[in-house]
Amino acid sequence: MNILIISDLNPRTGWGRAAIGLSKWFIDNKFDVFFYPTHNSRAKVIDSIRPLAEWEFDTLRDTDFFQIIITFDLPDKWRNYRYAISVGYFFWESGSFPKNFVKQFENVDQVWVPSDWQKRLILKYSKNSRVFKIPIPPHIKGMLGGASTVPSKVENDYVLWMGTLEPRKGLRLFLKEWSSYKKNGGSLSLKLKVSSNNVSHSPTDISETVKSLISSIHAFSFPQYSIEGIFHDLSEVEVSNLYMNARSIVGSSFGEGFGYVAADGILRNIPVFWPSNTAMSDWMPPSSEGAIDCYPYTSFLKNDQEIYQNPIWYPPREGGIESALWKSEYLTENESEGMSRVQNSNFYSYLESSEIAFALKGINQRVKGKDKR
């Protein structure tokens, strides 16, 4: 069976990592995989995946050469095809959808999402019942750059926060609770790895934005509250070292489409404390090890991206992040290792809950090289 992946294959992006993981799964299961780039992808093409030139894509997409065409992008980029089964793979982090997305859900043969939470949300809005939970396959572990998976040591003295400047990542809330933690005598330091979705932002721009954010909360400085800001791009080895030398990873998101930072931490056996909301609730449910409780209501965020259109967010409850910081400080070696084992088990149970076999069975019953019209 020939499968065409339409995506960015950049492992630094969510879409890219999802496409890489699923592409490797298809290759391991003896499918022939082709790739057509979106977003001017600069990523290296994976072995065993044949890239298509634009003229090849234009020639083949509406022939019976491909049995499945999967687009990893927002629904407004999806389309239907004459012969191939069209699949839209979709990340989403808000509890509501823009109106134009709903029509697109019904314009493809199948919709694939990484979590039960997203599946329930789409079925609430859409008449397309062919929605399948397809977690990012365990190949994600192979994307850790050969990193050691030795559990972090409790003598490591810093907490890691990693994310973008998007308001939904909750950096302002995190810094507010970090300030409270330090004022109350907390001894850990913080490594703050912040990036921007705006490619025109330089490391200096990001640094100044974070400093402005800090000054709006309280007049404290980076050194005063044991904060090391990291605002430049890091190599895979540098990222790996940043994870592996952390005592824990603490998040503050109001909504996640998947939760790569938390997943990477768990797969490296680092204790992770993260808000249990949206897609994260599949593998870090409330009351589980490391879960931070969240408010079950809408939270307006200043400067929400236009794409969200009246979004619904689920912020961590007040004091939840500070509580996670104190738990990090007092983790014993045995507690750290035990927490990592439980989180690993939960994550692999989530991966094994994939409905990809059901999705492909439905496709096999429909794809006989026939015109779908």
In terms of Cβ atoms closer than 10 Å to its own Cβ (0-12, 13-18, 19+), residue 199 is exposed
Nearest-angstrom CA–CA distance, 270 and 165? 23
Enumerate the β-bridge partners of residue 192.
161, 229
pLDDT digits (tens, 9 = 90+) for 134-162: 998 755 444 444 444 455 555 579 999 99
The Cβ of residue 204 has, within 10 Å, a number of other Cβ atoms equal to 10
Enumerate the β-bridge partners of residue 193.
162, 230
Enumerate the β-bridge partners of residue 162.
193
Delineate the domains of the chain, giving CATH numbers in brackets.
Answer: 2-137+354-366 (3.40.50.2000), 143-351 (3.40.50.2000)
Nearest-angstrom CA–CA distance, 277 and 315? 8
The Cβ of residue 176 has, within 10 Å, a number of other Cβ atoms equal to 20
Region of 39 (left: φ > 0; alpha: ψ -120 to 50; beta: rest) is left
Nearest-angstrom CA–CA distance, 177 and 322? 5
What pTM was estimated for this model as a whole?
0.89
Output the CA torsion sign for 1, 48, 42, 308: positive
Chunked into runs of 10 residues, the chain (373 residues) has average pLDDT values of: 88 81 89 84 66 91 93 91 92 89 89 95 88 78 45 72 93 93 94 80 88 74 77 89 95 94 92 95 92 84 75 93 96 93 93 91 68 54
Residues 6+ apart with CB under 8 A from 173: 252, 315, 316, 321
**Residue 146 has what pLDDT?**
40
**Residue 2 has what pLDDT?**
94
Residue 215, CB-side half-sphere exposure with 13 Å CA sphere: 6
